[in-house]
Structures are given as C-alpha cells and as structure tokens.
Copies of this chain bind each other. A is one copy, B any other.
C-alpha cells in the first residue's frame, strides 16, 4: 500500500475523553473514530488488524472442525421468551419493535437462535457432536460505554456453540476448544493465560476465561508458582489455613473504640495487627417461599476482602449480592456497620475459612463505639458455618497444593463454557440416541471478542511512542520510509523496487511515499506500530545501504540493499497472512 493513497489519520494530541492507553492510541494512530457513545467506525488502518485477528480465529476454528454459519443480528423476542431471558436480561439488551409492532432485539449473543436452528436441523445422535461458529456483529447496551472498542456497545465477536449426546462428548469438544483458543492466542503473538472462571449468568457447569495480560487489565488473575493452576480471582479458592485453630489464651473484653470505624483505625488504636481482627458484613439473605428475606452475616479476617461471586453463589445468600443498608443494619443489630461482630449476633453467620482459624481476635461489639478483644470461636461465638468467602492474596497456598499464588492483571478476551442442558432443556432441543430414545442435548459455547483483542493487544504492547504490534496482527508488517523522494528519483526508485520485492515475497508493506518531513513519517510509523521499518535515503543509497529498525529495537542498523529481504526473513519469518 502506498501511504500517499491511503488514509493515514494520525493525531498528535491525546483525545481528552480517552481514558485508557489502547483507546488513546487507536484514536491517535487513526485506527478508529467514534460515531456515538460506544459506536466506532474502523478506519482502513484499524480494519486491517481487525481482519487479521478475524482470519486467525477463522482458520483455527475451521481446523478444529467447527462449521461457520452466519445468524441474523436482529432476533425475535419469541425465542428469548422461550429461554426466559427476554425478562431476565437487563438493560444491556437493545430491544426494538419492527414496523408491525413485533418485538425484536439486537442480539448480544446467540444461544437461543442456534438452539432453535439445531433442534430443527439435527435429529439423530449420528449427527453429533457438531460445533457451529460465526464472526458477527453484536450489541450490548452498556450503561456507560467507555474505553473505546474495549467496552463498546457494538462489537465484533466470534461465538461458537456445540451440541452433544452426552457430557463426555461435551468435555471432549470443550478441551478441543481450549486447545484451539491457545493456538489462536499463540498465533496472535500475545502473552495470555487461560484461567478457571465463574460461569455467571450464562449458566453451566464449568468455564475458562482467556486473558491477555496487561497491567491495565480490569481482572485479577491468579497463578500458582508450582503448577499449571490459574483462575480468575472471582473463582480462585482460598484454602483453609493448615493446622488446628490455636486454643483461647485471653478473656473476652469490651473496649471503647469511639469514632474508630475502619479495621485500620481499630487495629491502630488497639495496637494489634489487622490479621488479628475480623470484619462482619451484613448482606441480604435468599428470599423464603413467601418472598421475605432477612439478613446474613459474612465474617472475614480484617485484612481480607470479600469475594462477592463466591458469596452470592452460597445457599442462603441473595443473588445478586446485596449489601444491607445502614437502616436495615441498625434495625436488625442496633448499631452502625462499623461496630458489628459475630458475638451474640441475631442473624445467621457464615465465617470465612481464614477468619474461622483465628483465636483471641478483635471484632465489633454490636454496640456503637465498642469492640471486643480476646474473642474466641465456640467459646464466645457460635461457629456453625465455615465457607470460602474471600479473595485470595499473593502468597496464599495454591488450591492444588503445589506452590503459592501470584496475581496479575488481565483483560478477558475469550470465555468458553460448558453450558450443559440449560438452553436445550428450556427450548426442548433433543435427538434420538442409539436406542431410539429422545435425549436432551448437551451444549457448550465459546466466545472470543474479536474487536476487543485489538485493544487488549495494544494495552499489552506499547511504549511512549505508540503501538508495538506483534507481526501477525500488525496492520502492515513492514514500513518503507523514503526520504525526500519527491526530490530524489534515486530514492523514489529504490523505494518502489524494495516495495515490490517485499510484497512479492509475501509481506504486507506500507510504502510511506508521502511528501512529509522525515520526522513526521518516523513518528507516524512508530505511532501506528509497524514492526519493521526500512529507511531509504540518498546518503544510505550512496553507501549501498538501507537503515533498518525493529519497532522494539533501541538501535537502528544499516543493511546492504541486496540483503534487505533475507534480513527481513530472518527478523520476521512469518510472512503475509
């Protein structure tokens, strides 16, 4: 591609409303433009990367034996009513009426549509397993769309859905998809992790998320130093401390802690470590048959944080997790939130494993301005229910018993689920098995955020000058920058010759033949993040050389003109996609 005939829409200024680096760089490098909140146009430069991501996904999905289909974006309400999600799905579902007043939505996902298709098309176990995917435009009406294409309302997604006679077959395809996702992310050239995850609202028995590691990521992901264990912090188990709980050594005493409302303040006042305290949170209990719901107390060690997903997955706790209001707490306990404790508390108490291991600890006295010290379980407070309630922290033992845990930040770009029969039961998707018996199919689903991968790749790979693309998903692999070519036919000719040579060798090349100052061209090519750059100048040609600089390199180097192609092949063995 010749830059003089291409929309190079770079910008020097950092756009004011772009909060994260990938959003800033995608705007500055001329990859996207905002049309409205959460709606982006992909400019030519950005679309090239998007298409490369899409192509890698498609090739690996095809290789796995999945069959590509294309379902409509607009979906009839009837199917969502069948699955129950027309009412369950919240404000993110963009609903609309057609000219005849019938209800439709802009599909945020396609479980209902594919299940409807397959229940009509597949009737025998002989046609199973089968896995169908699409690369398609989705819409989620985010309340507060931001971060550019990272959390856009309209986005490009690869979604796949597999159908099975039994759980064993689902497991096999699930493992195949896990391997396929690894192959896809390997080809992207990104540093990623597959982690165990909570299945959430979509349902099902197991799921893994694929995260691109980046310090700006919104998710904490947890690894073991001693094994392959990896999980989203939402899901990572905090194992019980080893050994038995120490025996009580102190008497329980009430101490005044006026105006000390936080764990830190109380610890400091009493001169003890936060690890010797507990905090007690009151949340809504699951409603009873009559729809009435009381409160439940969750007790954690003072230095630990509540894992809301673990809490709301517990029997007896309302889902979604809902903190009690100050009024509800005062009414139930008779004090403010900062003074609650498990001793003589008149609501059911669930104690975290680590908190349950404490002896002689400090907690609120259920009396405004007072705490208790020297508290001991069983002696002073009942210990009826112990659960895993907290987020793991660095240094915790790995749940598989091998090594300790480390935590890094990740951006979720893929999520694979064993759905089981949630949708197939609701929509009566059956086949006949070997014995002619009607069986509900098992299902898996496998999402990958195609447009989000582009942003995540930038979050992981950039410096102060711009984007640093991995070769496989760079808009162009190679930039050829000619200096003052409009004044020097020698430079122009050498540039054209190199351009043709590299293109014919299969590289995706951008020839920067614009009549711009060298500094502008260099800055643009660095901002856009093209992995390899050759500079063609009169001075270099006089010496028979081109200047080469890899986007990650600190130093430039001279390469003899005749050596340019073999040099590049060596630097970037992966040729044009």
What residues make up the interface of A, taking CB atoms closer than 8 Å to B? Answer: 5-7, 9, 33, 35-36, 39-44, 47, 50, 65, 67-76, 91-92, 94-96, 98-99, 104, 106, 113, 116-117, 120-121, 127, 130, 132, 137, 139, 141, 143, 153-154
CB atoms of B70 and A130 under 8 A apart: no
CB atoms of B141 and A67 under 8 A apart: no
Contact A35-B99, Cβ < 8 Å, known A70-B41, A70-B47, A106-B106:
no
Nearest 8 interchain pairs by C-beta: A96-B96, A42-B70, A44-B67, A39-B72, A36-B76, A91-B99, A41-B71, A99-B141
Q: Which of B43, B98, B116, B127 contacts A141 (CB 8 A)?
A: B98
Instruction: Write the nearest CB–CB distance from A152 to chain B, whole angstroms.
Output: 9
In angstroms, Cα B140 to Cα A98, docked, is 10
Contacts of A137 in B (CB 8 A): 73, 137
Q: Which of B42, B91, B121, B154 contacts A73 (CB 8 A)?
A: B154
Contacts of A67 in B (CB 8 A): 6-7, 44
Q: Which of B36, B50, B73, B76 contacts A70 (CB 8 A)?
A: B50
Contacts of A33 in B (CB 8 A): 117, 120-121
In angstroms, Cα B72 to Cα A47, docked, is 13
In angstroms, Cα B417 to Cα A80, docked, is 41
CB atoms of A74 and B6 under 8 A apart: no
Contacts of A36 in B (CB 8 A): 72, 75-76, 104
Among the interface residues A39, A72, A94, which one has the most CB atoms of the partner chain B within 10 A? A72
Contact A65-B5, Cβ < 8 Å, known A36-B76, A153-B74, A154-B74:
yes
Instruction: Write the nearest CB–CB distance from A198 to chain B, whole angstroms.
Output: 25
Instruction: Write the nearest CB–CB distance from A176 to chain B, whole angstroms.
Output: 13
Contacts of A5 in B (CB 8 A): 65
Instruction: Write the nearest CB–CB distance from A567 to chain B, whole angstroms.
Output: 28
In angstroms, Cα B41 to Cα A73, docked, is 10
In angstroms, Cα B94 to Cα A73, docked, is 13
Contacts of A116 in B (CB 8 A): 35
Contacts of A104 in B (CB 8 A): 36
In angstroms, Cα B121 to Cα A472, docked, is 28
Contact A41-B65, Cβ < 8 Å, known A75-B35, A96-B96, A106-B106:
no
Instruction: Write the nearest CB–CB distance from A481 to chain B, whole angstroms.
Output: 19
Contact A139-B35, Cβ < 8 Å, known A7-B121, A69-B41, A121-B9:
no
Instruction: Write the nearest CB–CB distance from A130 to chain B, whole angstroms.
Output: 7
Q: Which of B35, B42, B132 contacts A113 (CB 8 A)?
A: B35
Instruction: Write the nearest CB–CB distance from A123 to chain B, whole angstroms.
Output: 11
Contact A72-B143, Cβ < 8 Å, known A96-B96, A113-B35, A116-B35:
no
In angstroms, Cα B41 to Cα A95, docked, is 20
Q: Which residue of B lies closest to A141 (CB)?
A: B99
Contacts of A41 in B (CB 8 A): 69-72, 113, 117
Contacts of A95 in B (CB 8 A): 96
- A-B pairs with beta carbons under 8 Å apart, 14 shown: A6-B67, A7-B130, A9-B121, A33-B120, A35-B116, A36-B75, A40-B72, A43-B69, A44-B132, A72-B154, A73-B106, A98-B153, A99-B141, A106-B106
Among the interface residues A40, A106, A132, which one has the most CB atoms of the partner chain B within 10 A? A106
In angstroms, Cα B33 to Cα A6, docked, is 40
Q: Which of B42, B71, B130, B132 contacts A69 (CB 8 A)?
A: B42
Q: With A5-B65, A72-B154, A73-B154 given, name 6 new contacts (CB 8 A).
A: A7-B121, A36-B72, A39-B74, A41-B69, A44-B68, A74-B94
Q: Which residue of B lies closest to A79 (CB)?
A: B35
Among the interface residues A70, A117, A139, A154, which one has the most CB atoms of the partner chain B within 10 A? A70
Q: Which residue of B lies closest to A98 (CB)?
A: B141
CB atoms of A73 and B73 under 8 A apart: yes
Among the interface residues A9, A35, A42, A117, which one has the most CB atoms of the partner chain B within 10 A? A35
In angstroms, Cα B153 to Cα A437, docked, is 39
Instruction: Write the nearest CB–CB distance from A48 to chain B, whole angstroms.
Output: 8
Instruction: Write the nearest CB–CB distance from A448 to chain B, whole angstroms.
Output: 18
Contacts of A7 in B (CB 8 A): 67, 121, 127, 130, 132
Contacts of A47 in B (CB 8 A): 68-70
Contacts of A120 in B (CB 8 A): 33
Instruction: Write the nearest CB–CB distance from A22 to chain B, whole angstroms.
Output: 18
In angstroms, Cα B120 to Cα A7, docked, is 12
In angstroms, Cα B91 to Cα A259, docked, is 64
In angstroms, Cα B69 to Cα A33, docked, is 11
CB atoms of B44 and A139 under 8 A apart: no
Contacts of A98 in B (CB 8 A): 94, 141, 153
Contacts of A113 in B (CB 8 A): 35, 41
Instruction: Write the nearest CB–CB distance from A15 to chain B, whole angstroms.
Output: 12
Contact A44-B69, Cβ < 8 Å, known A96-B96, A137-B137:
yes
Contacts of A96 in B (CB 8 A): 94-96, 106
